[in-house]
Structure 1
Amino acid sequence: MTHPETAQGPVDIGPHEGLEFALMRAGEKNVALFFEIEPGGLDEILSEGYCLVQFRQFLHEGRTYFTRIVFREGFEADEMRLKQLVSDKTKGIVPAREHEIGKILSYTPDKVNSFIRHASSLETS
C-alpha cells in the first residue's frame, strides 16, 4: 500500500503539530511531545493545570535544544516512559520503540506504521 507524501512526509500520519493542545482539551490526547521548539499556547495550557517536563536534548553550535513533554495529570508514568524512549541513543528506526511512542502520543497503529515506512525510506535513500 502506498501513501501520498508531502515535503513533511506521508499525509496520512498527521502530524498533530498545532493541534496537540486542542486534542488534549477535547480529551483525545493525554501527552504531547515537542522537539526543539516551544509550542504556541504553552503558558496557557500550563495555566489550565497541565504539566510540563523539559529537558536538554542536545547542544549544537552553542545553542541548547530542549525536548518538552506536556501531559495531563495522572499520566506521569507515560511522561516518564516517553522521556526514556526519546532519550534512547539507539540509531535508526526501531519499530517497537516507535509503536510505544505512538501509543503514548495517541497515534493509531496504522499511522505509526506509515511513519515507520516513511522514516525507513529516508534512511535508505
Structure 2
Amino acid sequence: MKMKGTIGPHEGKEFELMRNGQKNIALFFSDYEFPECFIPYIKSGIFRLKEVLILPSPEFDFTAQIVYKPEAEKEANLLAELIKIREFIPENERKIGLLLGYSEEDVDFYVSEALRRIEK
C-alpha cells in the first residue's frame, strides 16, 4: 500500500504561516541566512528566539535558531532538546515534524521515506 503524504518544506513560508497563526514554531540552521523579516517581531516580543548549539567546532559552530510564539515556549524547549540528538530516531522525527506544524500524514510519510532510504 502506497502511503499518502508529501515531503514539502515550509522554507520561505514560515513567516507568513506564523504571522497568520497557522504555525507556532519555525526552525532555521546556521548554514543558511536567518530571515530578517522575523527580527522586528522578535524585538517587539511577538515572537521569541532561542539559539541552540548543535555541533561546536573551532571553525564554525553549527547552531539552530528556533523562532516561536510566547505561548509555544514549552514546545520550543522540547524541540531544542530533540534537535540536539544527532541520530535518526523515528519517534523523535515524528515529534519534530509535528512541533514544526506539519500534518501527521506528512510526518509519517517523511519518516517512512527516510527509513526506506536508510534500509537500502
TM range (shorter): 0.7 to 0.9
Give the superposition deviation at 1:109: 0.8
Distance 1:106 1:86 in 2: 15
- For normalisation by structure 1, the TM-score amounts to 0.80
Among 16, 19, 36, the alignment partner of 2:13 is: 19
Give the superposition deviation at 1:62: 1.0
Distance 1:108 1:2 in 2: 14
Q: What is the percent sequence identity of the aligned residues?
A: 28
- Whether 2:56 is the aligned partner of 1:95: answer no
CA deviation profile, 1:66-87 (whole Å, cap 9, x unmatched): 1110000111100111111111
Q: Identify the residue that residue 30 of structure 1 maps to in structure 2.
A: 24
Distance 2:9 2:28 in 1: 12
Q: Identify the residue that residue 55 of structure 1 maps to in structure 2.
A: 52
Q: Identify the residue that residue 106 of structure 2 maps to in structure 1.
A: 111
Q: CA RMSD in A?
A: 2.1
Give the superposition deviation at 1:2: 5.8
Which runs of no fewer than 5 residues in structure 2 stay unpaired?
none
Tell me how many residue pairs correspond in the alignment: 116
- Whether 2:38 is the aligned partner of 1:42: answer yes
Which runs of no fewer than 5 residues in structure 1 stay unpaired?
4-9
Letter of the aligned partner of 2:54 in structure 1? Q
Higher strand share: 1
CA deviation profile, 1:79-99 (whole Å, cap 9, x unmatched): 11111111124x22x222122
